[in-house]
């Protein structure tokens, strides 16, 4: 396995996004960088305001533990907005995109949530 492939497989992270509290943990996938988000609590915010991922396919997976509806979406750097389905408590919202070097915004597209702070920046280095 090349160093690049090993790094790509090892770099997959679990992003826990929170509407309240969040955490980051490692998860390895072979083909894509995966970020798992969890929404919980009552504050519309992600615990991590920035992430880094290698170029290629990235998958954001939101598990909503909050009592209000959320989803996960991504846009930026020439990528048209891609939105996961809006889900209620214990639902899962997923969005997959192919990213190139640059900056992207991941956010909740439920009206008012992004404006209230439920967003972050995904950076893909050269």
Pairing outcome for strands 56-64 and 33-39: parallel
> Taking the alpha carbons of 5, 93, 114, 82 in that order, is the dihedral positive or negative?
positive
Residue 39 near residue 14 (C-beta atoms within 8 A)? no
Tell which wins on pLDDT, 87 or 48. Answer: 87
Question: Does the pTM exceed 0.85?
Answer: no
The pLDDT value given to residue 97: 95
Q: What rounded mean pLDDT belongs to the chain?
A: 75
Secondary structure, 3-state, 7-23:
HHHHCCEEECCCECCCC
CB burial class (10 A; 0-12, 13-18, 19+) of residue 79?
A: middle
Question: For the ranges 41-55, 56-70, 81-95, which has the lowest average pLDDT?
Answer: 41-55
Domain boundaries, the chain: 3-124
Please name the fold of domain 3-124: Immunoglobulin-like (2.60.40)
pLDDT digits (tens, 9 = 90+) for 14-61: 333 333 323 222 233 335 788 777 777 777 866 678 888 889 999 888
Cβ-proximal residues to 25 (8 Å cutoff; 6+ apart), any chain: 13, 14, 16
On the question of pLDDT at 65 being above 70, the answer is: yes
């Amino acid at each position: 396995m090349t160093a690049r492939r090993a790094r790509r497989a090892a770099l997959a992270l679990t992003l826990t996004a929170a509407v309240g509290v969040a955490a980051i943990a490692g998860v390895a996938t072979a083909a894509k960088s995966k970020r798992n988000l969890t929404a919980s609590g009552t504050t519309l915010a992600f615990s991590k305001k920035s992430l880094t991922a290698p170029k290629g396919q990235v998958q954001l997976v939101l598990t909503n533990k909050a009592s209000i509806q959320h989803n996960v979406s991504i846009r930026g750097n020439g990528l048209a907005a891609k939105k996961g389905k809006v889900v209620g408590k214990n639902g899962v919202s997923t969005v997959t995109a192919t990213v190139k070097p640059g900056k992207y915004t991941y956010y909740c597209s439920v009206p008012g949530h992004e404006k209230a702070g439920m967003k972050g920046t995904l950076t893909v280095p050269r």
